[in-house]
Chain A
């Protein structure tokens, strides 16, 4: 690269650095009373003008073929006076819990991508039913389209599911036979064969741990894991490293992953024999993703409009295909491509550990598990 051209291209961009800014608390922010037990009233004339700020995780707007840009474009087409602004908090829901504790501005109206354990953590740290408002479902016409079994069991009715994934095993059929149950994984046949993720740092890792708790109970899961460790399970940090590092370099023939694995494999042109899905005990662990409106949102009406829009037919199809997850609505309300149906596998039975069980237990379960296997 010629230096002149190089410097020219670097120097061409203007750079705006905000060194510091002073803001005044309490401006343009409604602070509704915290005890709205009866949900939000339904306005006759909702205010659908302004900018609704939606917090979400990074792969929703970055990464390859994300759903975020499509959602923004379509939402703005449907509500011409509205603008949708994505924001990416870098420690997820925790950032808003901290902001709430410190009474700092939230700078967001809607959170898109809340997990069940996030709700439990909110309530363990703030107050019961905190951070998000109780939704008035009469204001979300399409909310009754959501399939049974995807309700995360929040007693405060703060969230709606917009898609779900299933944790399963992905295995290489040319190396091992399909494992049928959790007990199979402790057989000598599967010695040194399984890669799992650290439940402390990884979503699928935590889901797999909760799945074993669902199968063996809070009293029995550690015994089961000891058997797994004796059989040589490797617990790696993060899904990306475990899958793209260890599994795809054929370190081992089985990995904890998502049941939509073949959608990616087909897309990347991989040999399908290494991308077989195994549903242990004929189950998959459901990880529903949900959305909610902040208690301190300034654009409540647009927030409701966004939630309803996300459950519309087109949005459900696009989210499912771009996010590679399953739609939250029943089949008659969404039209998916045939290739998606071919490669995305749903388990015969979906299990999940709900809000009530997670509340107050989750941290202890994960901590006991991690201490058991990290102790030197």
Chain B
């Protein structure tokens, strides 16, 4: 980063001011790559022909289509009596009845089935979006925690590789997930083929409940996130605290609940919060698997942008962001109240997964095997079906889709998208993102760790990249940086190409570093830093020698996410890469997707393989820093 000064004095000065300088650089990157583009779009929501106005918000908040039953409340907030009356009238229409039904699809087994007859409440677009995000969050946590438990507590062959591969779902482009899910769960998909071998089916899984399949797809994306964040926390649990509790007579279960769980809770909730925000902003998957009935706010933002109705698009996006940030703030208030006195990580020893044949039949081991089967179906299935799809066509096995990639690589024109540059760019941008996002994320964590309520507000604002609609961010980049910002004298400042892409990726990625590092930093015993300072260490020295080694697992986990975000990022990359040779693998997937799907699926398979290989490397390298 910095050229070291020729004199020791210069180096001292740098060391003393390293934190401030990094903070300044962070602020600069955020200003140009985040606040400027987003501001360019958001200003449309509140300024109409140069006059500030809240009319657009009023229109959205009083429209039942957007906010459902709350429209009346927003329209006339003071008519409390009539609102309460409506609520009471609604509560009076509940009823529960018992009927005979066949709840399991494809199996005509009649069982008594309670039907709770609730009157329909109009949720509106925002209500439904929050509802499906909440369900998706529950599913992601439910599928992610067992994986974290197994990866953190058991030793088995291939554990580290498996841990590395948990990131894969996270980087798949939306279209690939959709095609993978149809290929896995469709009527003639892999799962029905397997069930058919057992004489069951075919079951119309996707048709049977579109919302359920959308939620499973969201869990496919986000359960790995929950798992990785939790594993990082689990591996930095101080096992001596557990031993102390046990020696004082606590049962194993008691010690787990009272000692381990409180140390994991911030991480689990972080994973849940990130999942909720992501699935609140979900866009292609919902409509690709579920259909228009399951449309979310983001679908409408996209539509408004397409129709150039920027005011309404910006208004919806601002409301989305406010909701996400409010939730983030509430969570961070909770997190900052969890200051611990952790001194050092000494993680629990892992026990062998299957030490003996007999132990394999213990209830706990059987549950793990059961979870493994579920994980195979939900996570491995869609990806494996994609890979199978890349080597088949109408007449069976074929290598022509990969042949297309080779042909394009060696015979493609200069203006066409080629596979190797896409792979190279993806990896280079990933490394560049690491180099920028990790210092950015760490510096924000350090600045906010002990700053009380102000820190919480800064920390909340630092989450803006996650809370802003990707579509709006993309449009802002286009208008702010690609078209150029008019400067006095007829000049324009334009920012595109590789450097801009890396900066945009870093902006999208650093919140993951912050969210992984902050909880650990906050739970450190402040006395340790104070002792170091009292012994004459500079703030920077104390950070480097005392704090960072203690939160290394969080930094490594955050760094892995930063790399993954960069590999998988699509919406801003495609805008900044247009007209340059800076396209990445997801952009290539999208460009190869025409009236034939083969080339795109082959490219998606290449993306999977390259990501898997690079993550095994990233995690191995990161592992050296963790201990």
Least CB separation from A85: chain B residue: B415
Chain B min CB distance to A202 (Å)? 9
Partner of B575, one of A61, A86, A90: A90
What is the interface residue range for chain A against chain B? 35 or more
Instruction: Give the contacts of A40-73 with B (CB-CB under 8 A).
Output: 58-59, 61-64, 66, 68-69, 72
Q: Mark B469-509, 1 if CB is under 8 A from A, else 0.
A: 00000000011000110110011111111111010000000
Q: Please choose the segment from B90-98, B180-188, B247-255 that sits at the chain A interface, where 4 or more of its residues have CB less than 8 A away.
A: B180-188
Q: Given the interface contacts A10-B427, A15-B428, A240-B597, does A201 sit within 8 Å of B484 by beta carbon?
A: no
The answer on a CB contact under 8 Å between A26 and B490 is yes
B357 within 8 A of A: no
Residue among B394, B416, B500, B502 with the most chain A CB within 10 A? B394
The answer on a CB contact under 8 Å between A63 and B292 is no
The answer on a CB contact under 8 Å between A269 and B65 is no
The answer on a CB contact under 8 Å between A88 and B483 is no
A356 within 8 A of B: no
A268 within 8 A of B: yes
Q: How far is the CA of A52 from the CA of B237 in the complex (A)?
A: 64
Instruction: Give the contacts of A101-139 with B (CB-CB under 8 A).
Output: 102, 104-105, 107, 121, 125
**Chain A residues with CB under 8 A of B578:** 87-90
Residue among A21, A68, A97, A105 with the most chain B CB within 10 A? A21
The answer on a CB contact under 8 Å between A250 and B394 is no
B293 within 8 A of A: yes
The answer on a CB contact under 8 Å between A3 and B617 is yes
A99 within 8 A of B: yes
Q: Mark A259-293, 1 if CB is under 8 A from B, else 0.
A: 00000110111110000000000000000000000
The answer on a CB contact under 8 Å between A64 and B394 is no
Least CB separation from A124: chain B residue: B308
Q: Given the interface contacts A10-B424, A23-B492, A23-B494, does A264 sit within 8 Å of B596 by beta carbon?
A: yes
The answer on a CB contact under 8 Å between A19 and B499 is yes
The answer on a CB contact under 8 Å between B579 and A241 is no
The answer on a CB contact under 8 Å between A192 and B394 is no
Q: Given the interface contacts A10-B424, A62-B594, does A18 sit within 8 Å of B496 by beta carbon?
A: yes
Q: Given the interface contacts A18-B498, A22-B493, A102-B483, does A241 sit within 8 Å of B178 by beta carbon?
A: yes
Q: How far is the CA of A89 from the CA of B493 in the complex (A)?
A: 19
Chain B min CB distance to A210 (Å)? 15
The answer on a CB contact under 8 Å between A269 and B579 is no
Q: Given the interface contacts A244-B179, A249-B188, A250-B187, does A268 sit within 8 Å of B427 by beta carbon?
A: no
Instruction: Give the contacts of A1-52 with B (CB-CB under 8 A).
Output: 1, 3, 6, 9-10, 13, 15-26
Q: How far is the CA of A99 from the CA of B32 in the complex (A)?
A: 20
Partner of A375, one of B65, B425, B498: B65
**Chain B residues with CB under 8 A of A95:** 478
B207 within 8 A of A: yes
Instruction: Give the contacts of A227-277 with B (CB-CB under 8 A).
Output: 234-238, 240-241, 244-246, 248-252, 258, 264-265, 267-271
Partner of A18, one of B284, B302, B580: B580
Q: How far is the CA of A87 from the CA of B580 in the complex (A)?
A: 10
A169 within 8 A of B: no
**Chain A residues with CB under 8 A of B581:** 16
Q: How far is the CA of A198 from the CA of B493 in the complex (A)?
A: 38
The answer on a CB contact under 8 Å between B497 and A16 is yes
The answer on a CB contact under 8 Å between B499 and A17 is yes
Q: Given the interface contacts A15-B428, A85-B415, A268-B393, does A240 sit within 8 Å of B494 by beta carbon?
A: no
The answer on a CB contact under 8 Å between B187 and A376 is no
The answer on a CB contact under 8 Å between A237 and B284 is yes
Q: Given the interface contacts A87-B579, A241-B178, A250-B188, does A98 sit within 8 Å of B416 by beta carbon?
A: no
A370 within 8 A of B: yes
**Chain A residues with CB under 8 A of B287:** 198, 201, 236-238, 241
**Chain A residues with CB under 8 A of B597:** 240, 244
The answer on a CB contact under 8 Å between B404 and A64 is yes
Q: How far is the CA of A236 from the CA of B288 in the complex (A)?
A: 5
The answer on a CB contact under 8 Å between B206 and A251 is yes
Q: How far is the CA of A1 from the CA of B614 in the complex (A)?
A: 11
Q: Mark B364-377, 1 if CB is under 8 A from A, else 0.
A: 00000000000000
Least CB separation from A102: chain B residue: B483
The answer on a CB contact under 8 Å between B613 and A1 is yes
Q: Mark A168-179, 1 if CB is under 8 A from B, else 0.
A: 000000000000
**Chain A residues with CB under 8 A of B395:** 269
The answer on a CB contact under 8 Å between B579 and A88 is yes
- Top 7 nearest A-B pairs by Cβ distance? A249-B186, A63-B594, A237-B287, A17-B498, A245-B182, A269-B395, A270-B394
List 26 A-B pairs, Cβ < 8 Å: A13-B424, A15-B424, A15-B425, A21-B494, A22-B492, A25-B486, A25-B490, A25-B491, A63-B596, A64-B596, A69-B413, A85-B415, A89-B578, A104-B492, A235-B292, A236-B291, A240-B593, A245-B288, A246-B206, A249-B187, A258-B595, A268-B596, A268-B598, A371-B65, A373-B292, A375-B65
